[in-house]
Structure formats: C-alpha cells, structure tokens
C-alpha cells in the first residue's frame, strides 16, 4: 500500500510539472496550490511579445469611454483628472483589420498637471494561440508625447502566472483622441 501511495504521489507530481511546463493550467484552487508547490522544480522563462493596441475615444468602433473628470479637466492643457475606461483590441499589426490576438481592458487617467501623462492600469487578455485565456497586468506611467514609454508588467494569469517584466510603448498613430500604440513586451514567468 505504501508503494502504491508513493507511485500515485509521483504520478501526480509529474502531471503537475507537465501542466506547469505546457501552461495548461486550471483555475481550480487545489490545482493552483499544487502549481505553487511545484515551483521549486521549474525554471523561469522569458517571453517576448509584440502587438498593437487600438485606443479609439472618438473613432468607430469606440474602445475607450470617459468615466470621470474634474471641474478643471477641460481647462487643463494636460487634461488632468480625466479618467477613461478601455476595452480595446490588440492585434498583430497596426491596422484595425489585423489579426486579433486579445483585448486590453482596464482604465487610464490623466495624472500629470504639466504634460499628458497617464496612469495606465490594463489587463492584456489573450484570446489566440498558446496564450489563449492567459493575461498580463500592466501598471505604470505613460507620458504619451514621449517617443518610448516603459511600464511595468506586475503579474499575470494562466501561462503568465507570477509574471514580471516591461512593456515598452511607442505611438504608431495619434490624432488627439484616437491612437494606435505599438507594444514590445518582455516578461519573465514560470
């Protein structure tokens, strides 16, 4: 009986390691706990992602809507106090007709009184390929008029559990209220 228990335990451990390596993770709390217990047997991986974020506050289809502003927002050159909720496509190319790979969902607020600097809080929800069902969470400052902006990857789910990394944003197109932003992401995960 003891040998059978050890064999079952080893099989379960190997199964969990295979799930960890292949990213086929379940949301069941017991599976998550087993995943954490097996972290000692895994190595961190680096993944690079490249995609385009389509932020449309005025152009169709609308992907960002105003949810709040201060009394002074529209008298401020930086739009200080304006808060936008976002559910925008992320695609492999800069054109809106490019292949959809997921959605950027969250909000951004104009948090700088001197320049158009945003506080970005986004979940990248992937819907295609090996990352389907996985997410990455972005949190950081986005001074939109700078050529390159760096924001933190502070976590993730699915394949990207316990992620940390950097998302670099570069404006591809901007007309004042609508933008296409190129993202290069480097993320460490298990």
pLDDT value at residue 5: 52
Instruction: Tell me which residue of 119, 136, 54, 126 sits closest to 84, measured CA to CA.
Output: 119
pLDDT value at residue 8: 52
Determine contact, residues 157/145, Cβ cutoff 8 Å: no
Tell me if the pTM is above 0.85.
no
| pLDDT tens, per residue, the chain with 190 residues | 556 555 454 444 544 444 444 444 456 888 888 888 888 888 999 999 999 999 999 989 999 999 999 999 999 999 999 999 999 999 999 999 999 999 999 999 999 999 999 999 999 999 999 999 999 999 999 999 999 999 999 999 999 999 999 999 999 999 988 999 999 999 999 9
Q: What is the pLDDT of residues 105-141, one digit of tens each?
A: 999 999 999 999 999 999 999 999 999 999 999 999 9
pLDDT value at residue 87: 98
Please, which residues bridge with residue 137 across strands? 123, 155
pLDDT value at residue 1: 54
Residue the block writes with tokens 């502070």: 154
Residue the block writes with tokens 């007709």: 97
């Amino acid at each position: 009986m003891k040998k059978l228990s050890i064999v079952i335990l080893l099989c379960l451990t190997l199964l969990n390691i295979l799930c960890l390596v292949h990213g086929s993770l379940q949301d069941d709390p017991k599976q998550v706990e087993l995943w954490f217990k097996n972290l000692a047997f895994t190595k961190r991986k680096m993944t690079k992602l490249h995609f385009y974020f389509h932020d449309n506050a005025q152009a169709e289809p609308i992907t960002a809507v105003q949810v709040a502003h201060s009394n002074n927002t529209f008298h401020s050159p930086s739009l200080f106090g304006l808060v936008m909720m976002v559910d925008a496509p992320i695609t492999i190319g800069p054109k809106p007709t490019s292949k959809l790979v997921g959605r950027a969902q969250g909000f951004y607020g104009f948090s700088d009184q001197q320049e158009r600097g945003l506080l970005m809080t986004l979940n990248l929800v992937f819907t295609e390929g090996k990352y389907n069902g996985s997410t990455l969470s972005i949190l950081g400052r986005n001074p939109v008029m700078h050529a390159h902006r760096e924001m933190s990857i502070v976590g993730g789910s699915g394949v990207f559990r316990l992620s940390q990394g950097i998302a670099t944003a570069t404006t591809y197109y901007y007309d004042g209220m609508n933008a296409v932003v190129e993202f290069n992401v480097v993320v460490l995960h298990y």
